[in-house]
Amino acid sequence: MKLATLKNPTLDGRLVLVSNDLTLAAEVSHLAPTLQYAIEHWPSLEPALREVDRALNQGLMDTGSLDTALPFAPSAAAAPLPRTWQWLDGSCFLSHGALMQQAFQLQPIEGMDRIPLIYQGAGDDFLGPCEDIVLPSEEHGIDFEGEFGVIVDEVPMGTPADQALDHVRLITLLNDVSLRALGPREMKTGFGFVQAKPSTSFAAVAVTPDELGDAWRDGRIHLPLNVSWNGEWFGHPHGGAMHFGFHELIAHAALTRRLSAGTVIGSGTVSNHDRSVGSACISERRAIEMIEFGEIRTGFMRFGDRVRITATLPDGSELFGAIDQRVVAPSAE
């Protein structure tokens, strides 16, 4: 199933199911008014949701499962979960960290190949796929970060890794926007990111794991993540290179506490050792330039710049739809 949230006057939007080709949407508010509600009641709601999904994709109108289908436009979509209780982001592609350490002579983090790195971000204000990224200053070092993520139901404290994937309800695609000029100081304090991590953006559609077929295995999304910046190719690193799978991230986060239904967990910037595939964030390209040329040649984003992030199946279709956003200054109003 593909699920999305359409914007409405409420903070949590209106849940719809989306057709496989991302052109149609079916109203399901009679079953679940919001995606948060659906995640919290998944076992009892899933059969009915799948019946609507079958009717939507087979064009079965007036069957009792589906009265009508509406055109689906990503521009009308909020993030699948416009807000949630908890947003946890990992750093699970070791090639990314290795490049940063080599380029900028950073000290390695002890045990990072054995213990996942995760920080807790802000889950109260996610952006939809076509919403502008409004930021106060270009001087803050505006960067995009293409990532995969999962949305879980309630995860009991102490859930082991070999049971953790049972709690993954949906898979998503995201842009974890970073302000690179603000990050170093916040990291040095030991208290984590606040100013350096503005609102995170999501593709319009979150999908159930079966939508990925064999591309969902070992707790990883085995698909390329495609990034373009101002219409030019930037990278297509592969998600299968994730050092820690999502099952290991979930188990790590739940070691000493339960995770509430609706918790979103990110993979960290998708990165590969093969530099020919490009990058999913500007900071990594800058690190590569520093290593290869002894200088940084690429600046960060400017107001008016556009980033586009997608993940494609082998047939070329965009599984989640595209994140397609501009960076803009605050309105003078």
Query: Are 36 and 111 in a shared domain?
Result: no
> Taking the model in full, what pTM does it have?
0.94
Cα distance between residue 299 and residue 144, in whole Å: 12
Q: What is the rounded distance in angstroms from the CA atom of residue 147 to the CA atom of residue 159? A: 24
Judge whether 110 lies within some domain.
Answer: yes
Query: Within a domain: residue 117?
Result: yes
Q: Residue 82 domain-assigned?
A: no
Same domain, 28 and 98: no
pLDDT at 184: 80
236 token code pair? 């297509």
Please tell me whether residues 168 and 29 are part of one structural domain. no
Please give the helix or strand (H or E) that residue 232 lies within, else none: strand 232-235
Same domain flag for 162 and 203: yes
Domains held by the chain: number: 2
Domain with 257 in it:
87-328
Of 72, 102, 129, which residue constitutes the final position of a domain?
72
Walk along the chain (333 residues) and give the pLDDT tens digit of each residue: 999 999 999 999 999 999 999 999 999 999 999 999 999 999 999 999 999 999 999 876 555 556 678 999 999 999 999 999 999 999 989 888 788 777 666 777 777 778 898 989 999 999 999 999 999 999 999 999 999 999 999 999 999 999 999 999 999 999 999 999 998 887 778 777 888 899 999 999 999 999 999 999 999 999 999 999 999 999 999 999 999 999 999 999 999 999 999 999 999 999 999 999 999 999 999 999 999 999 999 999 999 999 999 999 988 889 999 999 999 999 865
Say whether both 28 and 107 belong to one domain: no
Q: Which two tokens stand for residue 202?
A: 């999501």
Domain identity same for 182 and 220: yes
Print burial letters for 194-213: b (CB count within 10 Å at least 16), e (below 16): eebbbbbbbbbbbbbbebbe
The domain boundary residue, chosen from 72, 104, 124: 72
Pair 282, 294: CB distance under 8 Å: no
R_g of the chain computed on alpha carbons? 19
Which of the listed residues 21, 43, 72 is the one where a domain comes to its end? 72
**Per-residue confidence (pLDDT) for residue 167, from 0 to 100:** 98
What is the predicted pLDDT for the residue at 332?
63
Q: Domain for residue 78, yes or no?
A: no
Residues 91 and 61 in one domain: no
CATH number for the domain spanning 145: value is: 3.90.850.10
